[in-house]
Amino acid sequence: MNSRRLARLIHPGFRFGLSDPERAVQLAGLGVGGFCFYGGEAGEVRELSRRLKAASETPLLISSDYENGAGQRARGATDLPANMAIGASGSEALARRKGEITALEARALGVDWVFAPVLDLATRPGNPIVNVRAYGADPGLAARLGGAFISGLNSQGALACVKHFPGHGDTTADSHLELPSVPKNLFALEELELRPFKALAGRADAVMAAHLLLPELDANNPASLSKEILTGLLRRRLGYAGLIVTDALEMKAVSADPAAGVKAFLAGADALLVPDDPFALHAELARAANDGLVTAAAVDQALARQDALVRKLAPFRSVPPPDALRCPEHLAFNSEAAPACLAWASPGRFWLKAGETLGYFEPKTAQKDWQGAAFVEELVRLGVRVEPYQPGCGMRLAAGCFSRPRAGSGSINLSDGEWGALEAAIAGAADSVLLAFGSPFVLDGLAPSAGLCAFCALPEFQRGAAGVLAGQVKAGGVMPVKVSLRSK
């Protein structure tokens, strides 16, 4: 079998500052199907994309996890609100505009394929990897806003990829570190997790398979390596005919299996993403082809799906100028979106007047390291006097929490020490508001007078939250997940 055709099944990762560009050029010459970019300054991302595409005899698909805008990965591009913030707004217009901006800036960087939207559901507060990456807990909301985001991406010439099939929300493990397991049967999955994937199966450019064990469906293989799940469930039962890409094969959930890449292909995957060693995977595919396991017909079918994505990009192959990055119009989006996304998580409210004194607090964080500088500065601008919080002296308290998913961290919410410090601060305050500039689940079990969720730490959202407390901005969002505040 032609070795270059086998190489096109492989999409290696490239980490700016760590990966060797010359090795990447060598892989492009080998014939790989694309690269997944991590990090980088905008200029070097753009230049490496150009260089790799020039070195390849076949069109490359350059991808990245720009779930929250290209600025999430590439320095010099625009950071955009978390999906859960968009979920709180319920606005398809905001979801679509987020997709448009992401596509324009991705293409300005030479990135064609955005691994988004996330269709996992935020149904488990302790999930260490989904959380604010989800639109919320409702599958209908995820399908509606995910579809709008896809429309925005496609309208500006970028490909989308829904993930992580068949749904990563109901886990307590991070697949970057270990293999999660969800003990649900097909009926339970169809009632909840599968609904957004089924709704968008006809519109998705690609579906990313999760490294997730569902023993009721396949007791031996994670979804990404399971023929029962990829071919039987996704293709046959849900009727999906497009491209299937694995989650990164270097993740510890599957990386210990030297045959994981070949197994994924045999299960129904068309693109094998970020293996530990792309050259070794190429050799494994060649051996499997020589042994008759990997057939020419199956390779042809997988590459036909990759070719379909390349053809879809054809009208947009020219790279937009770099002045699309962090342009005034894109930066303005965050300020315009914030009021619609901010949501009260409590029946109680917390208001401030000009001239009042407020104590500000971040658990286990010194004043010099406060992440809420934009929030504090905006309150001061609005006439509120802000001081470091001192418990037990009648101060009103605003506590800022900045918990968010971090791949490979294995946790999302507050540590025991942070939770205890926050509980003590609330107990010692005249009254209090807890501000979730990230995960809303930090409010679970605490008893502030009020809880206000921004779902992300963008400066524009911090300033919006300050405006809400000062009565200058209305929080227009509705909580897309359930949190359980404790009564005092």
Pick the catalytic residue from 164, 168, 176, 211: 176
Label residue 321 exposed, middle or buried (CB < 10 Å: 0-12, 13-18, 19+). Answer: exposed
Largest alpha-carbon pair distance within the chain? 78
Count of Cβ atoms closer than 10 Å to residue 372 Cβ: 26
Closest of 108, 104, 130, 128 to residue 117, by C-alpha: 130
User: Which distant-in-sequence residues (6+ apart) come within 8 Å of 411 by Cβ?
Assistant: 128
Q: Please tell me what DSSP assigns to residue 180.
A: -
C-alpha torsion 47→75→68→17, nearest 10: 70
The three-point CA angle 66-55-303 to 5° equals: 65
Residue 120 is among the residues annotated as catalytic for this protein: no
Phi-psi region at 201: left, alpha or beta (left = phi > 0; alpha = psi -120 to 50): alpha
CA Rg, the chain, in Å? 23
Tell me the three state secondary structure of residue 313: helix
Pick the catalytic residue from 65, 112, 247, 444: 247
Residue 112 is among the residues annotated as catalytic for this protein: no
Tell me the three state secondary structure of residue 435: strand
Signed CA dihedral, 429, 430, 436, 440: sign only = positive
The three-point CA angle 81-137-131 to 5° equals: 50
Catalytic residues: 176, 247
